[in-house]
Amino acid sequence: MSIEDQNIISHSFKLLNLLLDKDEQSVLKISLLKELNVSDADAKTLLLWQPKGNDLDGLQQLKKAIELLRTPNAARHWRQSNDTIKQVLQASSPTIQVLNKIMYTSLMVLCAERLKSLVSSPPSHKSHSPHSPHNRTKAQSKASTKKSVIELPNNPNNIWLAIGDETGNWDYETSTRNKLGLSIVFARLSDWQPVFSEMLKGRSIQAIMSSPLQQLPEFANKSNFHHSIDAMKLGKPSPELYQELNGNLNWLANHTHLSTMGLYTKNASQIWDHLDSSKDASSALGQCYGLLMASIMPFIEPSDCLLLGFDRRSESENNLAAQRAGQQLKTNINGRVLMDERTFHASLRNQFSQSLEKWKDKSFINRFDALSSQQLFKTYQLEKYGLPTAHDKAWPGLSDLGATILNQLHLGDSTFITQYEISDNVYFFNLKEVL
């Protein structure tokens, strides 16, 4: 699909999300309507519209049809989407006719082109004897090659995406008794899609998460994204800084579609003595992620899958695991080395599988994958779902926000948010509860 085609579908989807959200601010609707070159009269009609009854049903059907066009397996659904778009946008409602004027032609052209390509490409009838060299080679190749990725469902409602971040110093060499935590923010892909377009105090969430806190004093350290530690290092914050970070934390802690979950320990020896005796930070972190993800898996639908994206952390140059292996690792400008990702993955998957053994469901491991965020987005082409790219600083900003809530409630002073300000969508548990 061309970039132009993707933009048409993306803008249409965003517009429907805004129209279905009664609480959405008008400024965002106005901005999007300008991008779609909507006339002033039609824009006014849509801004005043409160869809009900058949109009509301039509919008929801239209949104589902466009969702199908945004999946990696879109080719399977073009006929279905084509019929739904025609049916909805040809309704007699005056306001639906405004939508018809905006998007009908573009969407129909896309559907027609795709349908034509499907019809003009009949399946191949070329066959081979089951005993031919062609089939023997193919069978041998299939037997010796395991899939490294899972197959995603067609519907983004059936795909859960979690982003993770840790808090505290996980290096065994310096944190044998430190306070440590790990959190994830997760939701269905269909719920992730509008998140970064949401507005908070006149700014989009994407803009907020991608930049430092605005109320930091001039002398403060300023990260190149929303990093709460920049404020937490200052001690008592100014009223303006408190209001800014408290507002951001409350936005996530009370979000109706994003859930935040994590585990923590106030004494890191619980990890080193009872969970990971290797004293390897990469291994310990992998096991803790495995525990977290396993706690979610049994409670999503059997047709759903779960993806985890994480940022590669750095470790002490003199970590014990590297010394035992006799490795001379390349350090970064801060004198630290990248985590051992192979060890991390092995520990995560092993812990994930062990934690789910009692459920006796062998499908779990085939519906779960964990990769570094950039690798995850590349492997599963997640940008196709209308999400910011993996390189967008909004992702680490948002995952850091989840870790900050955990840190504030269980590992430090509740300077910027308290237990009384969070919703049921936030849940953290002590590591000793699951060991």
pLDDT tens profile 132-184: 444 444 444 443 344 568 999 999 999 999 999 999 888 877 766 789 999 99
Check pLDDT > 80 for residue 23: no
Q: In whole angstroms, what is the distance from residue 181 CA to residue 134 CA?
A: 53
How far apart are the two ends of the chain, measured CA to CA in Å?
Answer: 48
Question: Could you give the 3-state DSSP secondary structure of residue 3?
Answer: helix
Check pLDDT > 70 for residue 322: no
Least confident range of 81-95, 100-114, 240-254: 100-114
pLDDT, position 317: 67
Q: Among 43-52, 99-108, 119-128, name the most confident range.
A: 43-52
pLDDT, position 131: 41
Average pLDDT, the chain: 81
pLDDT, position 78: 64
Burial 267-298 (b: 16+ CB within 10 A, else e): ebebbbeebbebbbbbbbbbbbbbbbbbbbbe
Closest C-alpha to 196, from 421, 332, 386, 51:
386
pLDDT, position 141: 40
Q: In whole angstroms, what is the distance from residue 118 CA to residue 96 CA?
A: 30
pLDDT classification of 228: cutoffs 50, 70, 90: very high
Check pLDDT > 80 for residue 420: yes
pLDDT, position 275: 87
What six digits make up the tokens of 121? 């490409």
pLDDT, tens digit (0-9, with 9 covering 90-100), for 341-356: 888 999 999 999 999 9
Residue type, 410: H
Domains of the chain: 3-119 (no CATH), 156-433 (3.30.420)
pLDDT, tens digit (0-9, with 9 covering 90-100), for 250-259: 999 999 999 9
The count of C-alpha atoms lying within 13 angstroms of the C-alpha of 329, restricted to the half-sphere facing its C-beta, is 22
Check pLDDT > 50 for residue 247: yes
pLDDT, tens digit (0-9, with 9 covering 90-100), for 140-152: 444 334 456 899 9
User: Percentage of residues in the chain with pLDDT exceeding 70?
Assistant: 77
pLDDT, position 9: 66
Closest C-alpha to 252, from 130, 368, 149, 398:
398
Check pLDDT > 90 for residue 100: no
Residue type, 76: R
Least confident range of 1-5, 199-203, 238-242: 1-5
CA distances from 355 to 27, 120, 261, 290, 429 (A): 47, 49, 17, 8, 16
Q: What is the dihedral of CA 285, 287, 288, 290, to 10 degrees?
A: 120
pLDDT, position 323: 64
For residues 5 and 164, which has the higher predicted lDDT (pLDDT)? Answer: 164
pLDDT classification of 311: cutoffs 50, 70, 90: confident
pLDDT, tens digit (0-9, with 9 covering 90-100), for 365-410: 999 999 999 999 999 999 999 899 999 999 999 999 999 999 999 9
User: Percentage of residues in the chain with pLDDT exceeding 90?
Assistant: 40
pLDDT, position 335: 67
Q: In whole angstroms, what is the distance from residue 100 CA to residue 88 CA?
A: 9
pLDDT classification of 125: cutoffs 50, 70, 90: very low
pLDDT, position 68: 67
Average pLDDT of span 58-65? 81
Least confident range of 99-108, 254-263, 270-279: 99-108
Check pLDDT > 80 for residue 267: yes
pLDDT, position 145: 43
pLDDT, position 153: 92
pLDDT classification of 117: cutoffs 50, 70, 90: very low
